Structure 1
Amino acid sequence: MPPFELTRFRLPRGARADAVLAGGVFVLVALGAEGQRLRHGGDSMPSQIASWLLIAAVCGALLFRRRYPVAVGWFTVLATGAYYLLSDIDGPLIVVPIVALYAVAAQGRLQAAIAMAAAMVIGMGAGTLAGNSDVNGTAVFMLTGWLVAVVALGSVRYGRVAYAEEEARLRATEERLRIARELHDVIGHNISMINVQASAALHRLKKDPAQAEEALGAIKAGSRDALRELRATLGVLRRVDEEAPTAPAPGLARADELVASAKPAGLAVRIERTGAERPLPAPVDLAAYRIVQESLTNAAKHSGAGRVTIRLVYGDRELTLTVEDDGRGSAARPAGAGGGSGIAGMTERARALGGELTAGPRPEGGFAVRARLPYGITGEPMERSDR
């Protein structure tokens, strides 16, 4: 027995939907016209031929309602008017221009839809004034109500579709920015450290080969870590069925790795923790790790610092993070200077969590990054591990 998903009924879409709509409306109009002709008597043969040609042309025009909505709308309005003038049978052909009118309004052509609706009301009103017994004031009033409702429904449909498309564009833009920020943080730190260590190795190669060898070892380890994190990030983006990364997720638990990677670049890093440590929500933990990572990258690359102090204050509702160095404060450029985007990315991370981040030179010298990261979900304090 075939699966349920294969047997489930699916509505046609696109050109097939237009063909089904045109065919269904043609059958409805034909049955209605023939029913009235049998009850009240028929037109002359030329009149009948002209009526059927108009019915076929008006219904067939619905096949092109998506490609040429305004042209199809006006054609159905005018051809339907000609049908009622030529035929003595009051068939339900008025359904077709109403369907076309909805299509025009649903595509955002509001002015054209209003003009077509007005033309239909004026045409029916003119028929009433001309003494047509099949049309009276009540019929004109009801038609006007139907046309207003159809235009309104089409406009609502257009608004919903436009809102959904705009929301999708915003989500895509936010996702691109998130991916760009993540790749910058994942790759930028390791590459910057590799650059600093390579410069140190070249400088020490002849004077102190032992230190040069140590720097080259750090370059090898840093490049391996960069490649591993890049593969993990790209694997998530591709959503391929690969083995999950064995390394722990980026978080403050890996802060010691950042300290170790900064040492070959000439940075002496100290971490000070205050307050009861607690398991942080994953977004807060990741943001704190990336802020520390980017701050160390800036200290090694821009400020010429020798010492860096990282202070983590675990409050009841938020984590306060401070990274201070003793380098040249003005050299650690803010976002926008020289095309850098590190501080801007850190600020975006903090604001996304409802917090804030400030960065700038210290009065006593050096550079400082201060971030406030609300927990959102209050973590339970945990016992401090001995280090």
Structure 2
Amino acid sequence: MEEQRAHPWGGPPWARGGEPRWQPQWFRGPGTRLPWFSTLVLTLFVQAGSTFAAHSQAADRSPLDAFGRFLLFAGTALLLLRHRHPVLVAFGTAASAMLYLGAGYAYGPVFITVAVGCFAAIVSGHRRAAWSAVAMLWAGHLLVAHGLYRWLPPTGDNAPPWGQELVVLAWVVAIVAASELARVRREQWDRSRAEREAAEKRRADEERLRIARELHDVLAHSISVINVQANVGLALLDADPEQARTALTTIKAASKEALGEVRQVLDTLRAPGEAPRAPAPGLDRLPELVEQASGAGLTVRVERTGTMTKLPPGIDLAAFRIVQEALTNVVRHSGSRTAHVRIDHAPDTLGLRIDDAGPATGGDAGGSGNGLIGMRERAAALGGTIEAGARQDGGFRVEAVIPLAAVSKESL
């Protein structure tokens, strides 16, 4: 994967959710590039700082010669691999520092090399390796400072006071604590990023489902009307040209409306986030739906009860699509040429009931495929329910109840 160039720390300074995503390189895990710049800076600092420490501790420690500088350079050079091989670097820097102290050289920035190596190991998840490396260095330091100092340079060296070891221990604890804090923070960022990606995927899946449902409802109804009218037109083309012309006019109107609604759905894909150019259909377009069904040879009687209220757009669209799909199923799957639509406006619920007298003309009576699934999904998304099934008299009924209690409404 190519490195992003938007920020020198290795990531863009923004995220899709508005949260900063730039992170130091050691938070990004193993990468394809070596940390040349930071390693060079550390090398120069350690070499210069060790020179100053050697001059200030000249009376007690060995002078910094070529071997000492080689050990310092070897430790910092290993840091180039701290993202790719953190365990190797943790033990390697600890070993070079132990040899450096065992040779009697001055205390100084050599510990920074070990700190950076163990820090990289801990934040990358190799906690035990980092702790083992630090413990190895600590044990080696105690052995040299309080046991082997008589036989190791510099000559005439004495054991340091034990109080000094507490200071060293405090630095070790501080390094481990900072590394653990960084590791926890990195895990939190990784978890947050994974949750954002899962949420984005879930939203994308929901949007695809919504668009598929819209397209199905639009096309199923319109194509059913077109199919019925095409059959009528073909049957009457010679015997009754005027009636055939009426059928073709209905086909033209239905196809034009279907194309308009499909275009509106597809516009949301081309320009996500923009407002739709036309309002979504609702129950105010129920007369058009009745007229289209009439053109397909279906007589629809509409009955409203209760006080009519202005519905929220989501509920209004769902109610329209449920009625549309139910009437489409009557046209396609029922031998009845009549349907009864009842809309109950209650204070807390919207009730829909669509009945046809039957009988079914095939095995898919009432619609048992994607149409019924889509109706149930629409109702469930709004906290409602749908029941669909055959009536005792041979007809078919679709009944939906959608709650309105949690939504504010305005009277028409």
Could you say which TM-score interval applies, normalised by the shorter chain? 0.7 to 0.9
- Matched residue SS, 1:94: helix
What secondary structure does 1:377 align onto?
A: coil
- The answer to whether residue 286 in structure 2 is matched with residue 258 in structure 1 is no
How far the C-alpha of 1:249 sits from its partner, in A, is 3.0
- 1:373: which partner in 2? 402
- 1:215 Cα deviation from its structure 2 partner: 1.5
Q: Distance in 1 between matches of 2:226 and 2:332?
A: 10
CA 1:225 to 1:15, structure 2 compared with 1: closer, same or farther past 3 Å?
Answer: closer
Indicate whether 1:163 and 2:195 are aligned: yes
The match for 2:242 is 210
Partner of 2:121: 101
CA spacing shift, 1:253–1:236, aligned 2, 3 Å: same
Deviation at 1:244, TM superposition (A): 6.6
Q: TM-score, normalised by structure 2?
A: 0.76
Q: Which residue of 1 aligns with 2:86?
A: 73
Measured in 2, the distance between the counterparts of 1:13 and 1:271 equals 66
Report the alpha carbon displacement of residue 172 of structure 1 after superposing the two structures with TM: 1.4
Q: Specify the SS of the correspondent of 2:112.
A: coil
Paired position in structure 2 for 1:3 = none
Q: Does the 8 Å CA contact 1:235/1:242 hold for their aligned counterparts?
A: no
With structure 1 as the length reference, what TM-score do the two structures score?
0.80
The residue number in structure 2 matching 1:292 is: 323
User: Is 1:38 matched with 2:52?
Assistant: yes
Q: 1:39 to 1:122 in 2, by over 3 A?
A: closer
Matched residues, number: 354
Q: Which has the higher helix share?
A: 1
User: Are 1:284 and 1:374, in contact at CA under 8 Å, matched by a contact in 2?
Assistant: no
Match of 2:17 in 1: none
Cα deviation for residue 349 of structure 1 reads: 0.9
Answer yes or no: is the 8 Å Cα contact 1:80–1:97 preserved in 2: yes
Q: For 1:143-154, what aligned pairs fall within 5 Å after superposition? A: 143-154=175-186
Deviations 1:299-332 (A, max 9, x none): 1112233111111111111211111111235844
1:1-387 alignment, distance < 5 Å: 11-14=7-10, 18=25, 23-24=37-38, 26-28=40-42, 30-41=44-55, 42-58=63-79, 60-61=80-81, 65=83, 71-87=84-100, 88=105, 89=108, 90-101=110-121, 104-105=124-125, 113-132=126-145, 137-239=169-271, 245=277, 248-328=279-359, 331-333=363-365, 337=368, 340-375=369-404, 376-382=406-412
Seen in structure 2, the aligned counterparts of structure 1 residues 270 and 206 have a Cα distance that, compared at 3 Å, is: same
1:102 positional shift: 5.6
- C-alpha change, 1:224 and 1:292, in structure 2 (3 Å) is same
* Bigger mean CA offset, 274-283 vs 188-197: 188-197
1:327 and 1:365 in contact (8 A); partners too? yes
Checking the alignment, whether the CA contact within 8 Å between 2:351 and 2:402 is kept in structure 1 is yes
Contact kept, 8 Å, 1:324 with 1:369, in 2: the verdict is: yes
- State whether residues 230 and 248 of structure 2, in contact with CA within 8 Å, keep that contact through their aligned partners in structure 1: yes
Q: Say which one has the larger Rg.
A: 2
SS of residue paired to 2:358? coil
Post-superposition shift, 1:334? 6.9
Q: The residue matched to 1:364 in structure 2 has which SS?
A: coil
Contact 1:252 1:289 survives alignment (8 Å): yes
* Offset of residue 185 of structure 1: 1.7
SS at match of 1:182: helix
The farther-off stretch of 143-152 and 359-368 is: 143-152
Cα gap change, 1:169/1:295 in structure 2, threshold over 3 Å: closer, same or farther?
Answer: same
